[in-house]
Structure 1
């Protein structure tokens, strides 16, 4: 009998229907894991994938019960962790072993295993492909899991963390086989076309590709950034084009969202992608038959002729975190020399190249005041009047684990992204914010030992103690911007983090 493995992406508990790209793309990570174990073990495994982006938690639980898996792997972010726990409980009741992966699992692996008996293993690595294959191999052979890299597991009364190496995408980055979700591809395409079909001249079928990771701002990450690892890590350029070719030929995919944390982080990689473009795909790009989307930083787009390079690669849409139009708030969010003028210049360059822009902003960063928020909104108004935007996403600030904001809110005594508690004090003092030792103790008591966090509670506490506005004020101004943006016939949205 083969080992039955179910891989699930946990649904968002609120369905987050307002997010501007919600359920427009499959969760490519769980498909990659299913592909990797099938390639490694053949008919020794029977793998199935279910994506919470288009299935709610009850539906995922039902699939678990019907499939009867031996192993259930669940991908969980901080906002989706509560639903991951429900799936894990169902899997455990059905007799399966449960392994948790993705960002939230990596943030608190020991704490999760100590608190959640339904979870057997945590893969504590931003790149989980190799560890997951090793885990399945150990389960198939009946050998101990002590040699499975990056695995956190119980050993008697102890919780043990196996060594976690840093893996290179250039060494291994399996192309996810979309045959695992062939029947669901139309659902994503419909969702995308409902929101963004007007931006294209032809019917679009989208997918994400992840052949590179990291950000040039990784050494001093933005205050809200909770991405597990921002080290630049690029795969082989040929691997990117191989995925594009296979997906286009076999599944009709014609829009490829490369979810590299910042496409401008590695100029040599971008140049190598251009040089490696196969002639037949170059022709399709030049004819407008294939399109690419990327994330990028505004500052990076203004340098090294990067906008023209994007155009040559077939990029038709860029997602940029503009965050604020007020200089104090850009500084508070650690935007590393990015200014409102830089943001506007980047969008003008993209518009001139015929590339549309998704712009995201944040209300309620550390030190936010009514006046700074007003200046950001005025900046958005200016943007809408001067350049074309495909969508604008204005979200409240939420401090998430593994971010500088988490250092400020919770990990004050042992910060990860500030040099010391004293540096946090100086940072806050410059924003006219002080926090008493008593309040510090209260905040740690409230959040410091928790593995399950309430996003709404985090946002409210942050606004109360680390800004000069109320959460209600931020939400009202976000609603005002939504109205402003819609008046310009631009798509709006907001996100959970």
Structure 2
């Protein structure tokens, strides 16, 4: 029997489709799962991949109905979870089983299974490749799922959760086969060129690569960061270059966005990439025919000659979370010794090396006041006058699950990123914020036992209770910055998740 498998990336609701990189790159995770499953099971599976990021929920639902799969795997972040549930409902109506993965699934596996009958399985592991293949194999062979690692599932009237080991990318990290999405690669290329084509001297075909994960600030993550696992986990450097070579030869890809949470998190890995660069690819990099884009932290860029190393690897664009230009807000966002001067120094260094910068800022961090927001906007104005930026995102602060902000809002009694409730009280007191026992109980009742969260409700509640500005004030200042940035012919946007 052949199992029909459809893998889908849930799209953002329309209101959130304003991130400056939106729909410019394939959702490579579902392509990787498709590749690993095909490699393991061959003709026992028939696979289709659908990226809602370049369509919409209705299009994904049509694909489900047309394909009539036995199993639908859906990737969902917190802002896209509502769309994932709609897709899951369609899948169940078509007789399919449904497995949910990615960050939001990792945060709430038991709650999702309690609340959402349209979800049969949840894979609760940042490294989902091995568990997913195990699940599909068990289903094709008609076996139980008790041995599928990282899986949450219903067993009679109980919800069970299997052990979730950490998987080292250096041991297994399948190269996603782009033939699964070859018919839509031009869509991403067109989207990228429309937004950023002016930054390149040639026609660009972009793709994401994920050969490393983690962040050097993982031990004390930024207040807003909700990434499931920030442990540094690097793959084989030769695997990175094998991916680059294969994609360039077979699909004409010439811009590779390595979505490592912070490219400066592992100096040894960066050095190993440089040492492992094949000569024929080095020649293409030096000639500008192959280019790379990365995430990086400003503090890391100012150390260890890292900017020069990025240049040698062919990096032409860097995404940096600058977050604020006010020292109090940088401290409130747990930026780990980063200052406004550090941010400016990093961008100057990148500019000097010919690397363009995507800079992101946040309005409404814990304790934000009108004057701190003024200082951040003044810092953005200064930066626009002194350095070249390819794009600027200025977003309102949204507290998301698995972030220090979620500790402040929901997980106060059992925080994950603060030492204790007393530590939270002291942190907030330093920002002029306090809550009564009754107010804490109200927060818990409102947000504490919900797997489906309204992003707009979260943003408004946060501004009213954890800052000294209103949400309207934050949105007004964000709009002012968008106008200012656009006047400098720089791309604008904002993002959640």
- TM-score of the superposed pair, with normalisation by structure 2: 1.00
Q: Is 1:223 aligned to 2:237, yes or no?
A: no
Partner residue of 1:45? 45
- Kindly state the Cα deviation for residue 106 of structure 1 after the two structures are TM-superposed: 0.5
**In the alignment, is residue 392 of structure 1 matched against residue 392 of structure 2?**
yes
Number of aligned residues: 497
> What is the aligned partner in structure 2 of residue 169 from structure 1?
169
Listed one character per residue, the Cα deviations across residues 115-154 of structure 1 (whole Å, up to 9, x for unaligned) are 0011100000001000000001101111110000000001
Task: Report 1:183-262 matches (<5 A).
Answer: 183-262=183-262
**CA offset at residue 15 of structure 1?**
5.7
* Map 1:43-192 → 2, pairs under 5 A: 43-192=43-192
Q: Deviations over 1:26-47 (max 9, x none)?
A: 1000000000000001000001
Give the SS at the match of 1:53.
Answer: helix
Q: How does 1:309-324 map to 2 (within 5 A)?
A: 309-324=309-324
Q: For 2:216 and 2:34, how far apart are their aligned partners in 1? A: 31
Alignment-derived partner of residue 494 in structure 1: 494
Secondary structure in 2 matching 1:449:
coil
Q: Residue 290 of structure 1: CA displacement? A: 0.4
Q: Distance in 2 between matches of 1:253 and 1:46?
A: 26
Task: Indicate the residue corresponding to 2:289 in structure 1.
Answer: 289
**CA–CA distance in 1 between the matches of 2:381 and 2:201?**
28
For 2:374, the equivalent position in structure 1 comes to 374
Task: Tell me how far apart the structure 1 counterparts of residues 132 and 271 of structure 2 sit (CA, whole Å).
Answer: 32
Question: CA separation in 2, counterparts of 1:437 and 1:207?
Answer: 49
The answer to whether 1:413 aligns with 2:413 is yes
Distance in 2 separating the partners of 1:413 and 1:173 = 38
Q: Distance in 2 between matches of 1:60 and 1:81?
A: 14
**Distance (whole Å) between structure 1 residues aligned to residue 14 and residue 166 of structure 2:** 34
Residue 402 (structure 1) shift: 0.1
1:27 counterpart residue number: 27
Q: Which SS does the other structure have where 2:318 is aligned?
A: strand
Q: Structure 1: give runs of 5+ residues left out of the alignment.
A: none
Q: Does 1:306 align with 2:306?
A: yes
Residues 399-427 of structure 1, C-alpha deviation per residue, up to 9 Å, x if partnerless?
Answer: 00000000001110110000000000000
Distance across 1 between alignment mates of 2:2 and 2:175: 23
SS of aligned partner of 1:145:
coil
Please report how far the alpha carbon of residue 241 of structure 1 lies from its aligned counterpart in structure 2 after TM superposition. 0.3
Residues in 2 aligned to 1:302 and 1:97: alpha-carbon distance in whole angstroms: 49
Residue in 1 that maps onto 2:336: 336
Q: Provide Cα deviations, 1:407-457, integer angstroms capped at 9, x if missing partner.
A: 001110110000000000000000011111111100100000000000000
- CA separation of 1:262 and 1:128: change in aligned 2, threshold 3 A: same
- How many Å separate the matches in 1 of 2:462 and 2:414? 19
**Does the CA contact (< 8 Å) of 1:73 and 1:98 recur in 2?**
yes
Deviations 1:322-376 (A, max 9, x none): 0000000000000000000000000000000000000000000000000000000
User: Which residue of the partner structure matches residue 468 of structure 2?
Assistant: 468
Aligned residue in 2 for 1:272: 272
Matched position secondary structure for 1:134: helix
- Within-5 A mapping of 1:450-465: 450-465=450-465
CA distance in 1, matches of 2:10, 2:53: 8
Aligned equivalent of 2:437: 437
Separation (CA, whole Å) in 2 of partners of 1:14 and 1:379: 31
**Could you list the runs of 4 or more consecutive aligned residues of structure 1 that deviate by over 4 angstroms after TM superposition?**
none
Quote how far apart the aligned CAs of 1:17 are: 3.1
SS at match of 2:146: helix
Q: Write the distance in 1 (CA, Å) between the matches of 2:50 and 2:242.
A: 25
8 Å Cα contact 1:326/1:372 also seen in 2? yes
Report the Cα distance in structure 1 between the residues aligned to 2:441 and 2:67, rounded to whole angstroms.
46
Matched, 1:363 2:363: yes
1:146 alignment partner, SS class: coil
Aligned-pair RMSD on alpha carbons? 0.6
Q: Say whether 1:353 aligns with 2:358.
A: no
Counterpart in the other structure of 1:478: 478
Question: d(CA) in 2 for partners of 1:349 and 1:154?
Answer: 53
